[in-house]
A = this chain, B = another copy of it.
Amino acid sequence: MIEPDFEKAGGLVPAIVQDAATGEVLMLAWMNREAWIMTVETEKATYWSRSRKQLWVKGETSGNVQKVREIRLDCDSDAVILKVEQRGAACHTGYYSCFYRRLSGDRLEVTGERLFDPEDVYGK
């Protein structure tokens, strides 16, 4: 099976997640070999959670699943793009993209709207 160069990358490669239809970047997550294999085989985006130290099928808890439409590797095989169909929103804050803040001089300007209230999805 084709795979990123996990050895060179120290076990984890960054995965850039893009909306397959618009190209909007939704999030950056991390994959180990197991997450890669599960993603390729199931077409459901699966990552390695560095904070929880476990595999993480995106949307398993929240319902905000990502159906994988295309996978790309970079020239060095140490970074990945997943082009996905995002159900709901990608960000745990309720924004569609995790990158909802734009640098504007000495402040961060919020762009986009919240699609859900995190408390409704994850509890308080």
Contact = CB atoms under 8 A, between A and B. Distances in A.
Nearest to A73: B101
B25 A81 contact: yes
B74 A28 contact: yes
A24 B23 contact: yes
A37 interface: no
B28 A25 contact: no
A66 B119 CA distance: 40
A23 to B, nearest CB: 3
29 contacts: A1-B106, A2-B103, A2-B107, A14-B14, A16-B16, A16-B25, A22-B23, A23-B24, A23-B25, A25-B25, A27-B74, A28-B74, A28-B79, A40-B103, A71-B102, A71-B103, A72-B100, A72-B102, A73-B103, A73-B108, A74-B99, A75-B91, A75-B92, A75-B93, A75-B98, A75-B101, A76-B98, A79-B99, A81-B99
Interface of A: 1-2, 14, 16, 18, 22-25, 27-28, 40, 70-76, 79, 81, 91-93, 95, 98-103, 106-108
